Every structure is written in structure tokens, then in C-alpha cells.
Amino acid sequence: MLEHGGNLHHAAQRYGIPLQQWIDLSTGLNPQAWPMPDIPASAWQRLPEDDDGLDKVAQHYYAAASCLPVAGSQAAIQALPQLFALNRTQLRVGILSPAYAEHAYAWRRAGFKVVPLAADEIETQLNQLDVLLIVNPNNPTGYRFEPAQLLRWHQQLVARGGSLIVDEAFMDSTPEKSLATYTDQKGLVVLRSLGKFFGLAGARVGFVFAEPDFLHRLADFLGPWPISGPSRVIAIAALQDRDWQARARKGLQQQSQRLARLLTDKGLPPTGGTALFQWAETAHAESIHRQFARQAILTRLFTQPCSLRFGLPADEQQWQRLEKALTELNYMNDCSDALCEVAG
């Protein structure tokens, strides 16, 4: 299992600080989550039914012709390589790097040759790939690919029987950049998630967009009832709440800009970011991560490259604690940046 953000229990134990004192900036989740409605008891009690309207609501929100609801985009990340592996053909899989690490892990585990590619290496390597996997916008770098470029790459891949897979977990703030709308084309697979923008990571709801035949095979592979009944109820309501979505889109953009300004002012200018996080490359990442943790602020540390990801503080008190911690940062007295000295 890979390490992820959000593991507060672990941090609380390691640093000996009670759970409730922590500010969790280690994830890229919207801290002002979509507000829960009442959930009918029957949603807990009965088997979820596929024809409850979730497909249609999702097709409308994501502007796509066909979709498969799955238990978070992680479920698709696990399943896609296994589905491709059923053909028992060796494939060369190019994966954007650095990016959300579960992708490369899953393709390698399924027996495929994974080629890690920086964004600017893709164009020249494309003709040697069977599958290209992009995270757009990328996590943690915030790098953005233009739809026109991705569609061009998709054309080139498909001409040779290949596929383009795009993980759009952080796309909700810029829906006009999504490829979901083009997934009626063969060889194009898009993943979306309710976790980040809606702040509903615990619900485990995501969607796969692709041509119907591909989605049928994926559904058969995953089996019936992957999503809990209450999570389906909530997903249907959240995807239809256009007013909340419009407010969230605006609010997150403002908060993310505020975070970027704060980090810049305090000497940690972001290297990239999205509406839900800012990401800063720094050789001092490990030391800074530890200094924050001692003040019960959990950030996400990456070592390849050495960097930190900051999610959005949830309220003014959290903003002030973050500002204080940034002000008190000491880059000199911590001489044990072992991880980053090696990796960075």
C-alpha cells in the first residue's frame, strides 16, 4: 500500500498531539463540503438499485453520453490495468510523473511496463506507447494540459489501437477543460470523483467515462453494488445542486489564491496549484513538514521531487494558525533533511 494524505490518526500518534487539535492540510479536499441532506433509512437497508437516476444526473453534470459510477476513482485506478491485463498482451504504458502515485503502482502490479514521463517528454515518446495516462490538472504539480493537445494525442494513440486515460479528479473548477464530453470515442477513458470538489471523500463515489462497450466490460469486472445506497442518494443530490456548485467554484478559487499569496509572502512561493491546493518545491520540504507537524498542522510531503502540498484551511482560525506556523518557520536549525537531500 502506498502512503496518502489524510492519515491524521497516524500523525496524531507519531507527534503525540491529540487528534482534535490537528489542522489537516494534507489532502486536496474542499474543506467546505457539500452539506449533507437527510438520508432515508431505506438507502442503508436495501440493496442499491442501478436505475435510481445516478447515471443520468452524472451524464448531465459531466456533459458525457455514458458513464459508470464506481466506488471512488480509486476503484477505477485499481480496475483499469486489470481489465487491460485480461487481453494478456504486453502494453507499454506511459504515465505522467510525478503524478498521483496509485496509477503507476496499479499498472506495474498488473504486470505492465510503465514509462514515467515528464509533461514535456510525452510528445516525443508518444509513438512508442500503447496507453498514455495523464492526471489533469495534475496532482500534486497543478500542471494543466489543454484539451486540444490531449485530443491530438488521443488521435495518434487510437490510430495504433492505443488508449488515452485522463484522471480528472481535480477538474470540477474548470469543467470547460474536461475530456468527459469526448468519451463517446473509442480509446478514451476519463475518471472523475466526488471526493475533492464536493468534499465528499468518505462517500467513495467516482465515475468512469468511456464508450458503452468498455463501460459494460468494466461494470462486469467490478460486479454489482460497488457504491453504498446512501452515497448514491448524496451523489444524485450534490451533482444537481447547481447553486452550491457555482458558489463553491468561486469560493475555492479565492481561497486558493489567498493560499498562494500567503505562501509567497512567507518565502514558500508555489510551483503550481489548483483551486484545491498549492504545491511548493523546496529542498527543505521534509524539515518544513516536520515543523508544521509539531504545531499540529499536517501537510503532504513528497520526496520526488522534494515538495509540499498544502490543502485549503477550513476557517479563519486555521488560516491564522497556518500563517503563524509559516512565520515561525526556521530553515536553518534543522539539519536532518535526509530524504530530500537524497531524492531532491
Q: Which residues bind its own copies (CB under 8 A)?
A: 1-2, 4-10, 24, 27, 29, 33, 36, 41-49, 51-52, 71-72, 74-75, 77-78, 82, 102, 106, 109, 195, 199-204, 219-231, 234
Give the nearer residue to its own copies in terms of CB position, either 51 or 243. Answer: 51
Cell numbers placing 189: 477513458
Selection from 293, 301, 309, 298 nearest residue 340 by Cα: 301
Helical pair 102-109 and 73-85, crossing angle rounded to 10 deg:
30
Give the nearer residue to its own copies in terms of CB position, either 58 or 106. Answer: 106
Closest separation in Å from C-beta 35 to its own copies: 8
Closest separation in Å from C-beta 81 to its own copies: 11
| Burial of residue 195, with CB atoms counted within 10 A of its CB: 0-12 exposed, 13-18 middle, 19 or more buried | buried
Closest separation in Å from C-beta 142 to its own copies: 20
Q: Which of the 8 DSSP states describes residue 249?
A: H
Closest separation in Å from C-beta 37 to its own copies: 11
Give the nearer residue to its own copies in terms of CB position, either 9 or 324. Answer: 9
CA dihedral 323, 8, 25, 80 (to 10 degrees): 170
Give the nearer residue to its own copies in terms of CB position, either 142 or 229. Answer: 229
Helical pair 212-222 and 73-85, crossing angle rounded to 10 deg:
100
Closest separation in Å from C-beta 58 to its own copies: 17
**Residue 296, Ramachandran bin (φ over 0: left; ψ between -120 and 50: alpha; else beta):** left
Q: Phi and psi of 249, rounded to 5°?
A: -60, -45
Give the nearer residue to its own copies in terms of CB position, either 205 or 306. Answer: 205
